[in-house]
Amino acid sequence: MKDSLSRKVFVYGNTIFLTLLSLTMLLPFFHIFAASLSDSSAVTSGKVVFWPVQFTLDNYLYVFQDFSIWRSFGVSIFVTVAGTLFSLILTASLAYPLSRQEFMYKKVCLLFILFTIIFSAPLIPTYLLVKNLGLLDSVWALIIPSAMSAFNFFVMRSFFQQLPGELIDAARIDGCGEFRILLQIVVPLSKPAFATIGIFYAVYYWNSYFNALMYINNRMLYPLQVKLREMIVSGDMSLEMGSDLAEMMTAISPEGIKMATIIVATVPILIVYPFLQKYFVKGALLGSVKE
């Protein structure tokens, strides 16, 4: 009875502690959200903490009518969607053969991939390679140099190794080729792995700005994160909007616009996650093999 009571106390105490700790991690987000909905005078005077002061939507009005932010938003969406699909295809194409025991030179290939984790590529040779490939000032410079993560590769390879070899052997006996096995058997059974790794890739592409700083000089191709960095770090508040709105810039706070832009840049990736969350706990082989 004592053990049971002590365990309950520990579980409840641990739950309360972790809940409070999680809330402290959300406090900066609450502050930014409150500032984005507050009047310029309240934001400038530092009156805003975790609740909007003199509620207003002017900051979001300016953000949504800033053409440069919408253009950067479109670039980020394209890079995230195209980059995630491209990365998943590359990762699965490499992970599947290296997960099979019959593949020759598997150890050598794994050694080369592991080498990229220990020793990353130097910056200058990488830049020269991207330049010689003609990718500078191109959206593909934001995708191809980071197309595959070695960590994600090992995660997907481990998942493929858990698939029953009997399914693949049976498909081969029925005359299926390796590509057909991958597309019609391995991929449908690996939805949790693809969803998990897809989220990893999507979050990386959405938040990435270093590649844009290195390879993009054309402001028309700036992703949203670089546009946000310009506004926060360099104080670039030159919004591309109509003359009437530009004249009203003095009525709002640049800090409020920055906070609203941060929220706009953060919310989309938060919206996508709940739709894929179920795949983190769903069994990939549920009902596929009965013994």
Other beta carbons within 10 angstroms of residue 217's beta carbon come to: 11
Tell me the pLDDT of the chain averaged across its residues.
Answer: 79
The structural domains of the chain, with segments of one domain joined by +, span: 2-56, 60-280
Structure tokens at 18: 């972790």
HSE value, Cβ hemisphere, 13 Å, CA-based, for 140: 7
64-90 burial, b for 16+ CB within 10 Å, e for fewer?
A: eebebbebbbebbeebbeebbebbbeb
Q: What's the whole-number mean pLDDT along residues 273-283?
A: 61
pLDDT of residue 185: 82
Tracing tokens 């069994």 back to the chain, one arrives at 283
Kindly report, residue by residue over 20-56, the tens digit of the pLDDT: 888 888 888 888 888 888 877 777 777 777 887 777 7
pLDDT of residue 236: 54
The architecture that CATH gives domain 60-280 is Orthogonal Bundle (1.10)
CA angle 68, 76, 216 (to 5 degrees): 75
Structure tokens at 33: 């959200």
Q: What's the whole-number mean pLDDT along residues 11-17?
A: 88
Beta strands in 68-145 (DSSP E): none
Answer whether residue 288 shows pLDDT above 60.
no
pLDDT of residue 86: 94
- For residue 122, what is the DSSP state? P
Q: What's the whole-number mean pLDDT along residues 164-171?
A: 80
Query: CA distances (Å), 56 to each of 61, 99, 220, 231, in order?
Result: 10, 55, 30, 21
